[in-house]
Structure 1
Amino acid sequence: MRINVLQLPVSDVSAVAAWFGEVMQLPVQGSTVQIGWTRLQLRDARSDPVGGVHLAFNIPADRFEAATAWLLERSPLQRNAKGEAHFTFGGRWESESIYYDGPDALILELIGRRRLPASGRTGAFHGSELTCISEVGLPTADVAALTARAEATFGLQPLSPPTPHFAALGDDEGLLIVVDATRHWFPEQKVLPNARGIEVTLGDVDAGQLADDVEGWQLTAPQAG
């Protein structure tokens, strides 16, 4: 699965766009940020709340150490209750992650997935090495029901066994992180999830549409061709 376009409500389009350009070293044109194959489209939040939105960016796994050093020059890292900031996930994840704050209290993540191709690059990391938005957090009142709807609509399967409070649907290139709306975000466990006003265009899945009217987000996969 690919996240091709993600429309994100923000409090100040110009300020958030400048942050992605200056801090994350990403190409920005007006309200559009290009992150590898993903187009991040910023829009005025108006009455939509901001904060609590989770996005993850894929980086080549062989660049994780360099990316960590790069990010530490730009932002403090989020830590869990033990003070840990670097997280290694086994099983079906086979990945490493670090988390940090973005503008509007975005909960952002750099993740290196070991099953994806290595870059072979050396030296200092640059934001242009981010390959995509690979995760978007989607709160819901019923994780199991939404998981079933996503499978029926888009043909998506869980990456790892889902729980009543969490399901990751998709693959290494793109995941819908479906979470109970009352579950606080890892690793700090302080912020509740929010995705109100978010619109996502998916690729490499069955064509269809899916929305959560209570939480206020929607997904679309256009018909191929």
Structure 2
Amino acid sequence: MRIIKLALPASDVSKSAAYFRGLLELPGAGNSIQVGWSEIELISAVEPSPHGVHLAFNVPYGRFDAAVTWLKERAPLQAEPDGDESFALEGYWQSRSVYFEGPDGSVLELIGRRRLSDPAVTWPFSGSDLYCLSEVGLPTDDVEGTVAAAARTFGLTTLGPASASFAAIGGDEGMLIAVDPNRPWFPQRRQLPSARGLEIWLDGVEAPGVLSDRSHGWKVCAG
């Protein structure tokens, strides 16, 4: 599964666009930001913009340390209370991550995934090494029901077992993170999930369809 487009409400479209283009060095024109095969279309929030949106961007696993150095020159990293700023997960994840705050209080992440092949490059790390939008957080009052609906609608499975409060739907190239709305985002655990007004378009799924959550205001489409 790949996330090919995200419509992201913003309190200030110009300010958010400047953040993604300037701080993260991502190309784009107007209100459109390109992250490899993924597009982020910034739209003006009709109601108060969602605070607590979670987005993750894939970076080459072999260049993860370079990615951290590059990011720390641009933004403070989020840390756990014990001070840890970089996180390695084994098991189903096989990944390394760092987190930082984006526009409208969003929780952004750079993640390197061991199972994905790395390009053989030697140039300095830059925004061009962010090669896709790989995660979007979706709060839901029924995580297990959302997992079942994603399987019925798109033929998607989860990365590892789902719990009643968290599930990663999809795979290394793209995931929908279904999460209980009262479960704050790692690592600082101070931002509750929000996704009101988000619309996501997928590619590489088994069937076209639409999955939405009226209570939390998000929609996922394919085909």
Coarse TM-score class (shorter-chain normalised): over 0.9
Unaligned regions of 5+ residues in structure 2, if any?
Answer: none
Tell me, in whole angstroms, the C-alpha distance in 1 between the residues paired with 2:40 and 2:163.
Answer: 29
Tell me, in whole angstroms, the C-alpha distance in 2 between the residues paired with 1:25 and 1:75.
Answer: 13
SS in 2 for 1:80: coil
Q: Does 1:110 align with 2:110?
A: yes
- Which sits farther off after the overlay, 47-56 or 85-94? 47-56
Tell me, in whole angstroms, the C-alpha distance in 1 between the residues paired with 2:73 and 2:164.
Answer: 38
* 8 Å CA contact retained: 1:20, 1:28: no
Correspondence for 1:210: 211
Correspondence for 1:86: 86
Correspondence for 1:200: 200
SS in 2 for 1:128: helix
- Give the CA deviation at 1:123: 4.3
One-letter amino acid of the structure 2 residue matched with residue 199 of structure 1: E
Correspondence for 1:127: 127
Correspondence for 2:41: 41
What TM-score comes out, normalization by structure 2 length?
0.98
Correspondence for 1:99: 99
Correspondence for 2:222: 221
Tell me, in whole angstroms, the C-alpha distance in 2 between the residues paired with 1:49 and 1:26.
Answer: 22
Correspondence for 2:62: 62
Q: How many residues align?
A: 222
Unaligned regions of 5+ residues in structure 1, if any?
Answer: none
Q: Deviations over 1:191-210 (max 9, x none)?
A: 10000000000000121100
Tell me, in whole angstroms, the C-alpha distance in 1 between the residues paired with 2:73 and 2:166.
Answer: 32
Tell me, in whole angstroms, the C-alpha distance in 2 between the residues paired with 1:101 and 1:122.
Answer: 28
Q: Percent identity?
A: 50
Correspondence for 1:6: 6
- Give the CA deviation at 1:89: 0.6
One-letter amino acid of the structure 1 residue matched with residue 114 of structure 2: R
* 8 Å CA contact retained: 2:99, 2:109: yes
Q: Deviations over 1:166-194 (max 9, x none)?
A: 00010000000000011101110111000
SS in 1 for 2:182: coil
Correspondence for 1:20: 20
Correspondence for 1:175: 175
Tell me, in whole angstroms, the C-alpha distance in 1 between the residues paired with 2:193 and 2:49.
Answer: 11
- Give the CA deviation at 1:28: 1.8
SS in 2 for 1:220: strand
Tell me, in whole angstroms, the C-alpha distance in 2 between the residues paired with 1:47 and 1:123.
Answer: 43
* 8 Å CA contact retained: 2:49, 2:104: no
SS in 2 for 1:70: helix
SS in 2 for 1:66: helix
* 8 Å CA contact retained: 2:11, 2:48: no
Q: Which runs of 4+ in 1 moved over 6 A?
A: none
CA root-mean-square deviation: 0.8
